[in-house]
């Protein structure tokens, strides 16, 4: 009996939290229009969540691209198709690895930082203080961070893919001797703007919204203690990663239309 | 906007009428009534966890009472929607125990924050106002420091400067003396008194620091167990014969407020075994 009770409580609590998160998102989005007049607040946050995440994105992108070059060449060369290496690297990055790996790194670097920052502001009564000064913290603190996350994610994913292609080229053309002309022209012919690039961008925008949403909500909803903030940070990374991977499957299925 | 029964008295800025507040099943405040006189310093003293801070939160509209009215300047606070509540809050300030300074902004920007949010004051004028307020608390020279570089007493004074920057009609101080050295305590007490007299601000000081609070207060309420257990001028309270009041004012470990948390008999507990 007790098991069912506990199970029921977990489900009810979970649903309640999802409901609160949805209302919170509505509040954030509907409070965002005020920021049109104070756009510098968003710009500051784009620096914090975007520019400061750039290094890890670029380094990871480079290595992912180089590994793709190695692995792709090894498989393709068996069929004598190593000229298609550029196409393989570019498609893998633009369609899948770019948005997904960027979102995972973004959740780990920027998402966790957002949650910790907002959670600590709550724990130290900064958010309550703001409310007592008749300033809505959702508009002043949360909305700029959310918008910055949404704006930064697609840009980071694009840079990840771009530098990944360079990494693939360094390994494929530079080390393994694939023909440079073939590498680029196959890529140019095979990558479709609508089917590949645009779908990748859509994915990265969706991931940006989801990861930023989870990060700011977890921070705002954190229990205002050291333990509460650390748990919230933890949850941001876990939930964001799961959400990104799950949504990736759904979106890929919809985009390919084959399931 | 205001409740029908809310006929404000000219002399009282805040009237708390028959207010109860429950947190879950626990009663924090029970049928409590109190008035805060305009332009005076009213102290609310009591032990930790007696509901003092809850009272401030009720006045500031951060929580709603289970029953009763909280009337601030003729307006019943629990009736207010978010917009009206924010309008009212522009006229009151709450000084948090921790100061609650924004850690990512400098001292100057912390004090400037409410002005930037609520007005379109030109930058040179804003600078003047902020420096004047910082000068009031003696920290004009500390304008470029970050909150992490301030001592506890300085942080609270910066928070005080931020609280008065919009020239509110009322300031609520939540434990302004806690965790400060004697000099800082004296400085804060002096500043509360001076601000009250110079700007005509109504002040509510919530504290368990009997000595400092009695020195500056015009009127004092003593709270225990969610109720008012004594009131009067500080001198009257100090002379009170009530057991509750005596226990608190003299700092006695045991009395009407028990020292021990309720538990089953000691011997049973030690010898009875069972769970922890």
pLDDT digits (tens, 9 = 90+) for B215-247: 888 998 888 777 888 888 888 887 877 777 777
Confidence band of B10 (pLDDT split at 50, 70, 90) = low
Q: Is residue B109 very low, low, confident or very high in pLDDT (cuts 50, 70, 90)?
A: very high
Across the interface, whether the CB atoms of B86 and A134 are under 8 A apart is answered yes
* Other residues' Cβ atoms within 10 Å of the Cβ of residue A198: 13
Among the residue ranges A39-53, A90-104, B190-204, the one predicted with the least confidence is B190-204
Residue A178 has pLDDT above 60, yes or no: yes
What's the pLDDT band for B276 if we cut at 50, 70, 90?
Answer: low
Residue B72, pLDDT above cutoff 50: yes
Does position A27 have pLDDT exceeding 70, yes or no? yes
Is A249's pLDDT higher than 50?
Answer: yes
Q: Is the pLDDT of residue A176 over 70?
A: yes
Q: For residue B162, give both structure tokens.
A: 């931020």
pTM (predicted TM-score):
0.86
pLDDT of residue B110: 93
- The predicted pLDDT at position B149 comes to 92
The whole-angstrom distance between A232's CA and the closest CA on chain B is 20
- What was the pLDDT predicted at B182? 84
| Cβ contact, residue pair B101, A126, below 8 Å | yes
CB within 8 Å: B117 and A125: no
pLDDT of residue A100: 96
Give Cα A145 distance to the centre of its chain.
14
- Residues of chain A above pLDDT 70, percent: 99
Give the closest residue to A55 by CA, choosing from A106, A18, A103.
Answer: A106
Q: Nearest by CB to A134, which of B62, B90, B96? A: B90
A246 reaches B (C-beta below 8 A): no
- Give the integer Cα–Cα distance in Å for A45 and A35: 12
When the pLDDT of each residue in chain B is averaged and rounded to a whole number, the result is: 84
Q: Kindly tell me if the per-residue pLDDT of B200 is higher than 70.
A: yes
Residue B47 clears pLDDT 80, i.e. is over it: no
- A135·B62 Cβ contact <8 A: no
pLDDT of residue B3: 43
In the predicted model, is pLDDT for residue B2 greater than 50?
no
Conformation bin of residue A138: beta by default, left when phi > 0, alpha when psi is -120 to 50? alpha
Nearest CA in chain A to B112: A133
**Is B5's pLDDT higher than 60?**
no
The shortest CB-CB distance from A125 to any of B89, B90, B98 is to B98
Predicted pLDDT of residue B179: 80
Given pLDDT bands bounded at 50, 70 and 90, which one contains residue A157?
Answer: very high
pLDDT of B6 reads: 45
| B89: closest CA of chain A, how far (Å) | 6
Question: Averaged over A178-194, what is the pLDDT?
Answer: 91
Query: How far is C-alpha B226 from the geometric centre of its chain's CA atoms?
Result: 16
Instruction: Decide if A128 and B87 are in contact by the 8 Å CB cutoff.
Output: no
* pLDDT value for A259: 54
- The pLDDT of residue B82 is 86
Confidence of residue B184 (pLDDT cuts 50, 70, 90): confident
Mean pLDDT for the stretch of residues A204-228: 95
CB A208 within 8 A of CB A149: yes
A110 has a pLDDT exceeding 50: yes
H-only helix segments in B73-208? 82-89, 107-118, 123-136, 152-164, 182-199
Average pLDDT over residues B94-112: 90
Nearest to B100 among A126, A134, A135 (CB): A126
Q: How far is B87 from chain A (nearest CA, A)?
A: 7
Q: Is A132 on the interface with B (CB under 8 A)?
A: yes
**Residue among B57, B60, B86, B155 with most chain A CBs within 10 A, to mutate:** B86
The answer to whether residue A144 scores a pLDDT higher than 50 is yes
Per the CB < 8 Å rule, is A125 touching B86?
no
Any B CB within 8 A of A129 CB:
yes
Of the residues B53, B63, B81, B94, the best mutation for testing chain A's interface (the one with the most A CB atoms within 10 Å of its CB) is: B94
What's the CA gap between B34 and B47, in Å, rounded?
A: 18
Pairing of strands B26-37, B12-23: antiparallel
Least Cα separation, residue B192 to chain A (angstroms): 19
Yes or no, beta carbons of B86 and A132 under 8 Å apart: no
Domain ranges of chain A: 2-256
Q: How far is CA A81 from CA A64, A69, A85, B72, in A?
A: 21, 13, 8, 80
Within 8 A of A126 by CB-CB distance, chain B residues are: 100-103
Answer with the residue of higher pLDDT: B77 or A103: A103
pLDDT at B273: 66
């Amino acid at each position: 009996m007790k098991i069912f009770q506990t199970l029921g409580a977990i489900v009810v609590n979970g649903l309640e939290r999802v409901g609160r998160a949805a209302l919170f998102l509505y509040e954030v989005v509907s409070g965002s229009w005020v920021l049109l007049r104070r756009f510098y607040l968003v710009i500051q946050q784009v620096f914090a969540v975007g520019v400061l995440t750039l290094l890890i994105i670029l380094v990871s992108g480079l290595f992912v691209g180089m590994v793709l070059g190695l692995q792709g060449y090894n498989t393709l060369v068996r069929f004598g198709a190593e000229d298609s290496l550029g196409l393989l690297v570019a498609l893998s990055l633009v369609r899948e690895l770019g948005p997904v790996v960027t979102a995972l790194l973004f959740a780990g670097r920027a998402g966790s930082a957002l949650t910790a920052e907002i959670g600590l502001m709550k724990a130290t009564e900064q958010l309550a203080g703001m409310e007592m000064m008749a300033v809505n913290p959702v508009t002043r603190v949360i909305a700029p961070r959310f918008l910055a996350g949404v704006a930064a994610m697609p840009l980071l994913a694009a840079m990840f893919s771009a530098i990944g292609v360079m990494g693939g080229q360094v390994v494929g053309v530079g080390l393994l001797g694939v023909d440079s002309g073939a590498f680029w022209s196959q890529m140019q012919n095979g990558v479709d703007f609508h089917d590949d690039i645009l779908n990748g961008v859509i994915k990265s925008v969706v991931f940006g919204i989801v990861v930023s949403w989870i990060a700011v909500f977890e921070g705002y909803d954190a229990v205002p203690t050291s333990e509460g903030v650390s748990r919230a940070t933890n949850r941001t990374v876990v939930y964001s990663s799961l959400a990104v991977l799950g949504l990736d499957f759904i979106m890929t299925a919809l985009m390919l239309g084959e399931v | 906007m205001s409740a029908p029964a809310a006929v404000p008295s000219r002399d009282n800025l805040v009237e708390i009428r028959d207010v109860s507040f429950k947190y879950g099943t626990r009663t924090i405040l029970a049928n409590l009534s109190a008035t805060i006189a305009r332009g005076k310093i009213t102290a609310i003293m009591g032990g930790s966890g007696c509901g003092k801070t809850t009272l401030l939160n009720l006045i500031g509209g951060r929580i709603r009472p289970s029953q009763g009215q909280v009337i601030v300047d003729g307006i019943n606070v629990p009736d207010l929607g978010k917009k009206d509540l924010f309008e009212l809050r522009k006229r009151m300030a709450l000084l948090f125990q921790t100061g609650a300074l924004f850690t990512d902004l400098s001292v100057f920007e912390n004090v400037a924050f409410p002005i930037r949010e609520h007005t379109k004051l030109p930058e040179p004028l804003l600078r003047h106002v902020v420096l004047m307020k910082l000068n009031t608390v003696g920290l004009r020279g500390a304008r470029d420091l970050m909150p992490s570089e301030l001592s506890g007493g300085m942080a609270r004074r910066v928070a005080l400067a931020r609280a008065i920057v919009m020239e509110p009609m009322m300031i609520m101080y939540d434990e302004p003396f806690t965790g400060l050295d004697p000099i800082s305590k004296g400085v804060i007490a002096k500043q509360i008194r001076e601000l009250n007299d110079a700007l005509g601000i109504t002040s509510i000081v919530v504290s368990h620091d009997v000595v400092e609070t009695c020195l500056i207060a015009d009127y004092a309420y003593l709270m225990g167990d969610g109720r008012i257990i004594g009131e009067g001028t500080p001198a009257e309270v100090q002379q009170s014969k009530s057991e509750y009041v005596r226990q608190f004012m003299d700092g006695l470990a045991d009395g009407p407020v028990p020292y021990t948390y309720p538990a089953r008999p000691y011997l049973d507990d030690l010898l009875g075994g069972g769970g922890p």
